[in-house]
Amino acid sequence: MKSIEKMMRKLEPEHDGKWAKFHPVWDGFYTFLFTPGETTRNGSHIRDGIDLKRTMFMVVTALIPCLLFGIYNTGHFHYVATGETTEYMDMFGDKVIYGLIKVLPLVIVSYAVGLGVEFIFCIKNQHAIQEGFLVSGMLIPLIIPADTPLWMVAIATIFAVVLGKEVFGGTGMNVVNIALTARAFLFFGYPTMMSGDRVWFSGAPDGYSGPTQLGELASFTGKQVDWAYPNIEAFSEHWSIMESFIGMIPGSVGETSTIAIILGAALLLYTGIASWKIMISFVLGGLFVGVLCNQFAVNEFMELAPLHHMVIGGFAFGAVFMITDPVTAAQTSTGKFIYGFLGGALSITVRVFNGAYPEGVMMAILFMNVMAPLIDHYVIGANIKRRKKRLKVKELKAA
């Protein structure tokens, strides 16, 4: 590593040389590979050399279990769609290879395009490379179907980085989550590629209308039904809570396995990177609305068990990796509880009341991103009022 560091030092552009404008790019690569050499020693409580790149790298590490499981799951449901197997552990090697072929290009395009935009802006504005996309570049491929065309991934990434972050001043200044901004762009710009009955089965043949292990839903509903919106009783029987918890269901690349998501959550909580207050309150908000819907069900979506809501769609992934984004989340302690609870509650509300869009996590989190400053504003205002009252009481007692 010392030889690599020496080589990097030799390649460092001089600040007043003709290549000076490329110094931010060099600095980005250097600090990614090596810990910064400057640390505070005297007169400060903070003496650690860790920087934001290490923090972002830890989040990427937490996403690895979701990525690995998503690769295999993509391969599995491809072979389910082609009718070659319905057993989850059959053709293990073939499924992994197929998943790698479909998923890795999504990751590569996301990083290449996103970091390319970052480099352009850091050269143009002459600031250090911003680390935020290290996480967003991994999140974007994990929250979309595996068959999403690469050109669409590229366009969505450019849109999210430029209009979702750079126009606001870059990393730390964005109002909404970058990865979800890309997802929203794809959903509203190319809805047929992001929803329906075939998009979750990579390489599904034309005319395919659902997983073969479900077969015709006639025995449950009396007619052939789009598998994505079946009778809830049929859905619960064939996609059990345990299957959904493990991840043996179709869906976006990295969102299906709650177990993999929990492994990532454990790392983020252990390192103190993510807020447990937001995670817990998000789940509690979802459970609260789920229980309430069960008591006053007016449609079949409201009849789904509250725990089942927690392990399907993007709810668990959103609770761990999306709603906890420290830039777009509420900052006050009380605000984090309110922010998370309302986010979880709104996610399930959209899911059960909008039959045309049963996955409300994306819209709920984006909405709460916008509302986070307002939540903090009122929390701080309430704290100020309480302090003023205590001050008046002390003044009266003193008098």
Higher pLDDT, 87 or 345: 345
Confidence of residue 216 (pLDDT cuts 50, 70, 90): very low
* Region 31-53 average pLDDT: 51
DSSP 43: S
pLDDT digits (tens, 9 = 90+) for 131-186: 678 899 999 999 999 999 999 999 999 999 999 888 887 777 889 999 999 999 99
In the chain, the percentage of residues whose pLDDT exceeds 90 is 50
pLDDT tens-digit series, residues 249-281: 888 999 999 999 999 999 999 998 999 999 999
What confidence tier does 300 reach under pLDDT thresholds 50, 70, 90?
A: confident
List helix spans (H) across the chain: 2-10, 23-33, 52-81, 92-125, 133-142, 150-164, 178-189, 191-194, 218-221, 232-238, 241-246, 258-270, 276-295, 306-310, 315-317, 333-353, 361-398
pLDDT digits (tens, 9 = 90+) for 378-395: 999 999 999 888 888 777
**Least reliable range by pLDDT among 34-38, 123-127, 167-171, 300-304:** 34-38
